[in-house]
Chains A and B, each alone.
Chain A
Amino acid sequence: MTEALVGLGLMMVLALLRIPIAISMGVIGFLGGACLRKRKIAPAMAMVETKVYDTGRNYTLSVVPLFILMGNFVTRAGMSQELFRAAYAFVGHLRGGLAMATICACAGFGAICGSSIATAATMAKVAYPSMKELGYSDRLSTGSIAAGGTLGILIPPSTLMVIYGVMTETNIGKLFAAGILPGILATFLLCVAVQWTVFKDPASGPPGAKSSWGERLRAIEGVWGVALLFILVMGGIYGGVFTATEGAGIGAFGALCFALLRRALTWRKFLDALVESGRTTAMLFAILTGALMFAEFVNYTTMPDDLKWLITTLNLSPIMVIVAICAIYVLLGTAMEELSMILLTVPVFFPLVVHLGFDPIWFGILIVVVVEIGLISPPVGMNLFVLNALLPHVPTKTLFRGVLPFVVADVIRLGILVAFPAISLWLPSMMR
């Protein structure tokens, strides 16, 4: 236990000195490994070589760049406009309708894009001007965009689920399937949060014009591309027609076709999408390799066993442990960048959770939800930063206050998902 704690501490010190997390984790994984093996350097070096090579040459991992590429094509194809229009046609005439339309459109966009930040950024460009025009308060409009954006990583595909699946060797297809029902629940609860906001302050979200059924049908027609892409990729993976990797390849290709059909791609944009995806991939693999080295060290120490022993002696009920882990995550998430938070802690928590008899898929969904909360909880939340950068005239204070009802809705959702694992596990249990 002591070695692991010292390792964790040293790693945090390196990371706080601004050394990239990937390198901090890798170095400590290497040094820790060497110390534990009676200060023999050779096996630790062999471990490093193997980890670097195996992470790079790994067929399953090609799912990562392909889904990132799909997201990059989809954001450039500009499908968000149609999604927003379609959602507006159905709920726009209600009080707070535009904010709810934003959230539903985010959910739709999340079904073809695996990144929450990309979802929020795309939607901000489309939804914010409409809400501003109708006289929505900045608090409600920015809050709904930031919160809706987080649906991007819960509703499959999801880059975060892929990373979790790779780290813990959990089936990525099943993780995706597990995200669907919680995603619908999340959409509903976020809409409730909108209603609560307009209930407290009716002027913050006035109703828009009502659409006729003809207009609604036409608006639905506009989103056939999104629906087709989702059904093709997720249906294919869920039905076992292809693996997650193949689904990702088809998804990226489909997204490219749509972008081309809509004439949204110039050579420049096309090249940018590819290069950016390539860079993001390399960045992710660096940090993933580092995390795997660090996990190797942690698993070699007595820490996983000690934690199990601690829980048995303290007579903690398993569900209390889960609640405690979630609470730690929500607290950490307010101040930490979420991806590093997950990569740092999953090697420690995951063996424990499995030991307690919980389903790794369910835990994966909980991880995604705590990351979602972290993304919108001040002071450090990436989605808030995105909106801050895109809408510089909205004061940070307004942003922070506007998002609060949505954070509460998310915490309630976390509670529901902890209490009813079936919401997450029912769909994956039907797979093959």
Chain B
Amino acid sequence: MSSTGSEGGVVWLDRALGVAAAILLFCLMAITTVDVIGRYIFNWPLRGAFEITELLLLTLIFAGLPLVSRADEHVTLDFIDALLGDRCRRILRRLVDVVCGLIILGLAWRVFVKAGKISGYGDTTDVLFISVGPFVYFMALMVLVTAIVHIVKAFLPPPDKPKVFDPDQVSPT
């Protein structure tokens, strides 16, 4: 398979964010477990587990967001596909990606503003005094990346075959 520069970049981003999400989620599990075991068995709870969990979750969600957009896993209603021909369907896909990209771009702007505000206050967590600002900047950055993913997708050639339903993928329902 030949991969152009942008596709190579997408693959690289996919891997990097995937590994990041995996590590974050593993830490989330480990911290909760260590906290519970520490508290009940050794009577020694993990200090600040609460706020580490919060920040890990925040980072996890936003690191995962570009992955979801890239894999086309957002919940959509696809009734319209049945009404459209192949060509129209592809054009609609691209249009939707552009629209989504622009909307998310707007969101990224607002989250950057929010990050600026939070950094400005010098907001820290209560127990461990972790500075929150950088985390919100990370959020904003990831929202921006998600917007770019959508816009890039709109201009990339469509995938060879439509995505088949993958039953191994554990869906929320």
Binding site for B on A (CB under 8 A): 15-23, 26-27, 45, 48-49, 52-53, 56-59, 61-62, 65-66, 68-69, 71-72, 75, 115-118, 121, 124, 153, 159-160, 163, 241-242, 245-246, 248-250, 252-253, 256, 271, 274-287, 336-340, 371, 375, 382, 385-386, 388-390
Contacts and interface: CB of A to CB of B under 8 A. Distances in A.
B138 to A, nearest CB: 11
A22 B80 CA distance: 18
Contacts, number: 219
Contact of A68 (B26, B63, B170): B170
B74 A71 contact: no
Interface in B46-86: 50, 53-58, 60-65, 67-68, 71, 73-81
A286 B142 CA distance: 13
B102 to A, nearest CB: 10
A112 B79 CA distance: 34
B21 interface: yes
A282 B68 contact: yes
B74 A18 contact: no
A181 B38 CA distance: 33
Q: Is chain B's binding surface mostly helix, strand, loop or mixed? A: helix
B167 interface: yes
B139 interface: yes
B167 A386 contact: yes
B96 interface: yes
A116 B77 contact: no
Q: Which of B29, B64, B78 has the most CB of A within 10 A?
A: B29
Contact of B57 (A21, A57, A241): A57
Contact of A280 (B24, B81, B96, B170): B170
B173 A339 contact: yes
A340 B172 CA distance: 11
B77 A340 contact: yes
Given A68-B170, A117-B167, A386-B165, A15 B76 contact: yes
Contact of A278 (B40, B54, B64, B166): B64
B171 interface: yes
A18 B75 CA distance: 9
B99 interface: yes
Given A115-B172, A279-B64, A274 B76 contact: no
A406 B73 CA distance: 30
A18 B78 contact: yes
A364 to B, nearest CB: 14
Given A21-B74, A61-B57, A278-B25, A53 B114 contact: yes
Q: Which of B25, B103, B114 has the most CB of A within 10 A?
A: B25
